[in-house]
Amino acid sequence: MSFRRLFVHNWWIVVFVIMAAALYAQAIHKKNRLEQKLHEKVEALNHAKREEEERKQELLLRLQSEEDPDWIELVLKEKLGVTGEGELKVVFE
């Protein structure tokens, strides 16, 4: 039996193998896209986590320094516009 005759009688096997390869390639491509999206999401979450940890540290330092008189004076000056003794307050219109 020649190769041509074998191919003609079993054409459906070749078609099946080609279709299976195409489906496999499509599935791999889809998996790679999903994996890339998930990596990007993980990176975004890690970045947000680092920012929130920095914010937490800042807030903890702020909480610890609330009893410090210098800190209280600084907050009063910044937020309420209070001036210290011997200081002159200038207001521009």
**How many angstroms separate the CA atoms of 45 and 43, rounded?**
5
Looking at the domain assignment, is residue 87 inside a domain? no
Looking at the domain assignment, is residue 7 inside a domain? yes
Contact between residue 65 and residue 71 where contact means Cβ atoms under 8 Å apart: yes
pTM metric for this prediction: 0.54
Per the listing, tokens 């903890």 go with: 60
What contacts 76, CB < 8 A, 6 or more positions away? 82
Q: Any idea what DSSP says for residue 93?
A: -
* Residues above pLDDT 70, as percent of the chain: 99
Reported as a pLDDT band with limits 50, 70 and 90, residue 69 is: confident
pLDDT score of 76 more than 90:
no
Contact between residue 7 and residue 14 where contact means Cβ atoms under 8 Å apart: yes
What pLDDT, on a 0 to 100 scale, did the predictor assign at position 1?
Answer: 60
User: How many domains is the chain partitioned into structurally?
Assistant: 1
